[in-house]
A and B are shown apart, each in its own frame.
Chain A
Amino acid sequence: MTAPIRTLDDRIRPSDTPDSPLDTQEYFINMGPQHPATHGVLRLMLKLDGETIREVIPVLGYIHRGIEKMGEAMTYRQFVHLTDRIDYLSALVNNWVVARGVEVATGTETNDRIEYIRTIFAEIERIQSHMLWWGVLGMDLGAFTPFLYGFRDRETLTDIFEETIGCRLTMNYIQPGGVMHDLHPNFVKRTKAALAYSKSKLHEYEELLSGNVILQERTRDVGILSAEDAVALGVTGPPLRASGVAYDLRKVEPYGVYDRVDFRTAVGSVGDCWDRYWVRVEEMRQSIHIVEQLIDNIPEGKTMLMKPAKKIVIPEGVYYNQMETARGILGMVLVSDGTSDKPYRIHLRSPNFNNLWALDAMSRGGRLGDLVANVSSLDLVVPDIDR
């Protein structure tokens, strides 16, 4: 099986499928690098025929920081503090993927308390990430109220982070061998209150945006991504599940305590923007359900099992491990030479870099106005694309 390969020449050459009987001409236009709907510094070169999109060519690198190169000069514990800058809405999962990579490589076992705390925080962060996405999607499609609602409700969750971790967005809490410090005494009480609040708000979201006829018109059958295309293009996370592939690492290769909780994987059927919308809204519900099952049962135990002063030296080898962030599979390739306490090479398989290229497959043949819905439904975080 081989896929057709199109060169850059093919992409910029005028195509012979005019949009209308009028004598139209194809032209190029830049969307970005500074564009409110790209949520960061991302440039999309669009080949247009009237309002019909013929090609989307993403141009990246405006905020490339060389995090992988920086990682080679740092110890593993130090590198954790860079990971919150890649996908800033999944900071804790980014921390966790490094921590787990080191733990697997050194054969360190963690205890239940640590895994419970990590799982609960990862799920709370998934909820707040999806809440932000929900608000921003509304704003991108012309509804300003959801933006304010999303940010307002997200606040109750970031307050929980602030109390225990001390940060609200770029968090560094999960470390190799445990978590940095124990939970705040108010954590359980406050989380329960925030979950009850979020639950009632999800209902409000449905009434405000999901049932809105404008949103439905602008997302249904727009930006369809077939299951075959999604898999071949390396798409993961909610966009993959919206295309009908029920692949969720939390189910397939459970880490943390996901194997002890009951939750369902939301799967779409068409693969359009509406399915991607619906999958994320459902994931918020499932995440609330996961935290509710865990929050009363956090066992006692130590929260850090590795002495912070201890030098971590990983045996020589190539270690790969991966986790499900709010946007897809975040993988880490960790290469150690076996002598130094620094990684020989670190590579982050970022979900956004791989999801981005599906934009062309989704948008080609569609209208320019739908591109904003497509970008928004992919939920891209640009620092994670550029690293």
Chain B
Amino acid sequence: MTDADVPSPDEPAEPTPRNPLIEALIASSYGVTDDPLSGSNPGVRVPVENLYDLLAHLRSEPSLAFNCLLSHTAVDRPADGTIELLYVLQSLSTGQRLLVTCPVNRDNASAPTVCGLWPIAEWQEREVFDLFGVTYEKHPDLRRVFLDDDWRGYPLRKDYQDDFMLTPDEPKQ
């Protein structure tokens, strides 16, 4: 592993020349765009139609070898009507890290499962299903993981309400 491959997380986010990995992905056929908001980590955005193909490419291409799905989570953006799925990929062999963001429709949130690529995704996707209500096509065991099976609503959505939750005060300007 060379030092040049490892993105240094201590560097502040400053306009640096674009990462060659991102250049290559944008040039590929997956409809990838650069994610300018991904902080000091390289990040891309991809439409949900190409999500599985892109992730399979990132996983299987020997020169990329993103063999570890560190984290999968979601961000609710009601203003855009989307839920952004976020995949944090790490290659333990090259040391590269990549954030893949994929917006899905908020009312009918659905994405293909990636359990076949990274088995840990099965449970990370269950967590996102539990807290955001995103369904994963062909997921083997899509049940709630933290909350009760009869729980109503998805707590990490911004508009979630229930009878016993404490709502924070409105911010004072």
Q: Do A and B bind each other?
A: yes
Q: Which residues of A contact B (CB under 8 A)?
A: 1-3, 5-8, 10-11, 60-61, 64, 66, 68-69, 73, 104-105, 107, 231-234, 245, 247, 252-253, 255, 315-322, 329, 331, 333, 335, 340, 342, 344-345, 347, 349, 353-354, 357, 386-387
Besides A5-B140, A61-B147, A318-B37, 4 more A-B contacts (Cβ < 8 Å) are: A3-B115, A104-B12, A234-B70, A253-B6
Q: Which residues of B contact A (CB under 8 A)?
A: 1, 6, 8-10, 12-13, 35, 37-41, 43, 59-60, 67-71, 73, 75-76, 86, 88, 92, 95, 97, 99, 101, 115-120, 122-124, 127, 131, 138, 140-141, 143-148, 155-156, 168, 171
A333 B86 Cβ-Cβ under 8 A:
yes
* Bound CA span A107–B43, Å: 19
Q: B123's closest neighbor in chain A, by CB?
A: A357
B99 A318 Cβ-Cβ under 8 A:
yes
A320 B145 Cβ-Cβ under 8 A:
no
Return A98 CB to nearest CB of chain B, in Å: 14
Return B73 CB to nearest CB of chain A, in Å: 4
B116 A3 Cβ-Cβ under 8 A:
yes
State whether A3 and B119 are in contact (beta carbons under 8 Å apart), knowing that A253-B9, A333-B73 are contacts in the complex.
Answer: yes
Q: B69's closest neighbor in chain A, by CB?
A: A234
Cβ contact of B70, chosen from A104, A105, A331, cutoff 8 A: A331
Q: B144's closest neighbor in chain A, by CB?
A: A61
Q: Which residues of chain A are near B41, meaning CB under 8 Å? A: 319-320
Q: Which residues of chain B are near A333, meaning CB under 8 Å? A: 71, 73, 86, 88
Cβ contact of B71, chosen from A3, A10, A317, A347, cutoff 8 A: A347
Instruction: Tell which of B6, B86, B146, B156 has the most Cβ of chain A within 10 Å.
Output: B146
State whether A104 and B68 are in contact (beta carbons under 8 Å apart), knowing that A8-B141, A317-B37, A331-B88 are contacts in the complex.
Answer: no
What are 13 sample pairs from A and B whose C-beta atoms fall under 8 A apart? A1-B117, A5-B116, A105-B39, A234-B118, A252-B1, A318-B35, A322-B70, A335-B75, A345-B75, A347-B73, A349-B71, A349-B88, A353-B123
Q: Which residues of chain B are near A232, meaning CB under 8 Å? A: 67-68, 118-120
- Summarize B's interface: helix, strand, loop or mixed: loop
Q: Which residues of chain B are near A10, meaning CB under 8 Å? A: 140
Q: Which residues of chain A are near B75, meaning CB under 8 Å? A: 318, 335, 344-345
B68 A320 Cβ-Cβ under 8 A:
no
Return A77 CB to nearest CB of chain B, in Å: 15
Q: Which residues of chain A are near B127, meaning CB under 8 Å? A: 353
Q: Which residues of chain A are near B8, meaning CB under 8 Å? A: 253
A231 B68 Cβ-Cβ under 8 A:
yes
Q: Which residues of chain A are near B156, meaning CB under 8 Å? A: 68-69, 345
State whether A318 and B119 are in contact (beta carbons under 8 Å apart), knowing that A1-B59, A1-B60, A331-B88 are contacts in the complex.
Answer: no
Return B3 CB to nearest CB of chain A, in Å: 10
* Bound CA span A347–B156, Å: 11
Return B103 CB to nearest CB of chain A, in Å: 13
Q: B140's closest neighbor in chain A, by CB?
A: A7
Cβ contact of A320, chosen from B92, B99, B148, cutoff 8 A: B99
A340 B171 Cβ-Cβ under 8 A:
yes
Q: A7's closest neighbor in chain B, by CB?
A: B140
A320 B1 Cβ-Cβ under 8 A:
no
* Bound CA span A386–B101, Å: 25
Return B102 CB to nearest CB of chain A, in Å: 13
* Bound CA span A117–B123, Å: 36
* Bound CA span A6–B113, Å: 13
* Bound CA span A344–B156, Å: 11
State whether A8 and B143 are in contact (beta carbons under 8 Å apart), knowing that A1-B60, A2-B116 are contacts in the complex.
Answer: yes
Q: Which residues of chain A are near B144, meaning CB under 8 Å? A: 61
Q: Which residues of chain B are near A318, meaning CB under 8 Å? A: 35, 37-39, 43, 75, 86, 99, 101
* Bound CA span A329–B92, Å: 13
B120 A255 Cβ-Cβ under 8 A:
no
Instruction: Tell which of B8, B39, B101, B141 has the most Cβ of chain A within 10 Å.
Output: B39
Instruction: Tell which of B70, B75, B119, B122 has the most Cβ of chain A within 10 Å.
Output: B119
Instruction: Tell which of B68, B123, B127 has the most Cβ of chain A within 10 Å.
Output: B68
B155 A66 Cβ-Cβ under 8 A:
yes
State whether A234 and B39 are in contact (beta carbons under 8 Å apart), knowing that A64-B147, A245-B92, A318-B75 are contacts in the complex.
Answer: no
Return A239 CB to nearest CB of chain B, in Å: 13
A231 B76 Cβ-Cβ under 8 A:
no
* Bound CA span A6–B41, Å: 33
Return A160 CB to nearest CB of chain B, in Å: 27
Q: Which residues of chain A are near B68, meaning CB under 8 Å? A: 231-232, 234
State whether A231 and B92 are in contact (beta carbons under 8 Å apart), knowing that A2-B117, A8-B140, A107-B12 are contacts in the complex.
Answer: yes
Q: A11's closest neighbor in chain B, by CB?
A: B141
Q: Which residues of chain B are near A335, meaning CB under 8 Å? A: 75
* Bound CA span A387–B155, Å: 14
Return A296 CB to nearest CB of chain B, in Å: 25
Q: Which residues of chain A are near B95, meaning CB under 8 Å? A: 252-253
Q: Which residues of chain A are near B99, meaning CB under 8 Å? A: 318, 320
